Every structure is written in structure tokens, then in C-alpha cells.
Structure 1
């Protein structure tokens, strides 16, 4: 296996780990936040608008972590900064 193939395989594996681990945390966090919000709505239905607004802002912040992981994955797959370096180094 040549160096270019090794770099490609490492990029694909790293991107898989990045999106996998980057999606687990926000998924768990969003589920936990939603459960707490529903519990709060059940206990205080009069505060539904405040709880819902705060929930949506919090979910947007949590979801941004998964979006950052997705961006890193796309960079590793399609705009890898090391790819051109290795292509030039190997003379390809």
C-alpha cells in the first residue's frame, strides 16, 4: 500500500470517527434536554412559552456541535490539506 492510499484511508476513517462521535453527544444532549423540558411543561403549564423558547435556543446550541463535526468530516473527505502535499511529494 503506497503513502497516498494510506492517507486516503486514514482520512476516511478519521472522518467516520469525527461524525460518529460528533453526533452521539448532541443526540444524547438533545434527548436529555427535551425530556427535562417536557417534565417542566407537565409541572408548570403556564410557563410553556418561556420553557419552549429556552428549549429551542438550547437545542440550536447543542445542534451546532454536530454541525461542526459535519464540517470537519467534509474537510477531511473533500478538502484535506495534506492531500496536495503528499501528491506533490510523491510526484503525482
Structure 2
């Protein structure tokens, strides 16, 4: 019984570490894309925060610093609780 438990534990650790690596890589992508998108924003920290939320959900960020939301429909279609666009 102990070898089975040890094997399952090892498999779980490997799966968790691979998931963690994918999450870190995804956030690096979003950080770089959002800092580029928000570089001209008046309230940069808020822009980067909401852009990061949208990027994590949609896995894309439109090019440029404004507009071009047709490049990422998920990013374009996310709305806040008041029905206005969530993503900068």
C-alpha cells in the first residue's frame, strides 16, 4: 500500500509543478502585453490591473495603446457590473 501512496503523491507533485509553470508563464505574457497597452494611460496602475484581469481570462490583449479590440473579441466583450467595458 505504501508504494501506491508514494507513486500517487509523486504524480500529484509533478502535475502541480507543471500547472504552476504554466501559470507563471501566462502572467509574464500578460504583464508585458498590459504594460505596453497601458503605457500612455492617465491612471496606469488601474489600467494594468484591469488589463491583467482581462488578459488572464481571455489569453489575449489587443495591440496598441487604445482601440483595436476587434483583435480579441473576448477582451472586447467583458463588461463590468454596470454594463460598461471592463477592459482598457
Query: TM-score of the superposition, structure 1-length normalised?
Result: 0.44
More contact order relative to length (CA 8 Å, sep ≥ 6): 1
Compute the TM-score of the two structures, normalised by the length of structure 2.
0.46
Give the greater-gyration-radius structure (CA). Answer: 1
Q: Please identify which structure carries the higher helix content.
A: 1
